[in-house]
């Protein structure tokens, strides 16, 4: 989901694909059309939607939520317990919620909405293990708060 997507010509100037050795894949991701599912591999589908996360109404469950909002001190509205609950309810059973924020309040909120302890572990493991396989694909992309597959 992206409220303000970068213009394709500007995003194409970024060198993330080359830096990661994934130039062709990065170009495919950039050129995926908005508002439709795109299969990028046998196990990876991408849906890009130009929408404000505050107004987003999910219609299907997702396997992964990569929550990449700015810090709670910068965008507190995106870190409300109501929006975190919406993320949690959108996840498939066994789905993964990943964010780089490790704020104590976030951990307490996630615990309150019922995310299992395993999800708290994702904060530390995400960069070391999980992202070794898909981080190269999604981190260096311009989707603003959430990426689903």
User: What pLDDT, on a 0 to 100 scale, did the predictor assign at position 125?
Assistant: 40
Q: What is the distance between the alpha carbons of residues 139 and 26, in angstroms, rounded to a whole number?
A: 11
Question: Is 81 exposed, middle or buried, given 0-12, 13-18 or 19+ CB atoms closer than 10 A?
Answer: middle
The CA distance from 143 to 149, in Å, is 13
pLDDT along the chain (149 residues), means of 10: 87 82 87 90 86 87 83 89 89 81 83 66 41 39 34
* pLDDT at residue 144, rounded to an integer: 30
Which residues are 98's β-sheet partners? 66
């Amino acid at each position: 989901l992206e409220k303000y997507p970068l213009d394709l010509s500007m995003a194409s100037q970024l060198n993330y694909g080359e830096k990661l050795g994934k130039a062709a894949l990065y170009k495919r991701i950039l050129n995926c059309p908005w508002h439709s599912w795109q299969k990028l591999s046998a196990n990876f589908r991408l849906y890009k939607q130009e929408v404000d996360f505050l107004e987003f109404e999910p219609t299907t469950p997702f396997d992964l939520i990569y929550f990449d909002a700015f810090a709670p001190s910068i965008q507190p509205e995106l870190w409300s317990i109501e929006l975190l609950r919406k993320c949690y309810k959108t996840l498939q059973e066994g789905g993964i919620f990943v964010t780089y924020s490790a704020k104590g309040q976030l951990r307490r909120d996630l615990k309150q909405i019922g995310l299992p302890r395993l999800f708290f572990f994702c904060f530390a493991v995400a960069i070391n293990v999980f992202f070794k396989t898909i981080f190269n694909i999604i981190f260096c992309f311009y989707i603003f708060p959430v990426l689903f597959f």
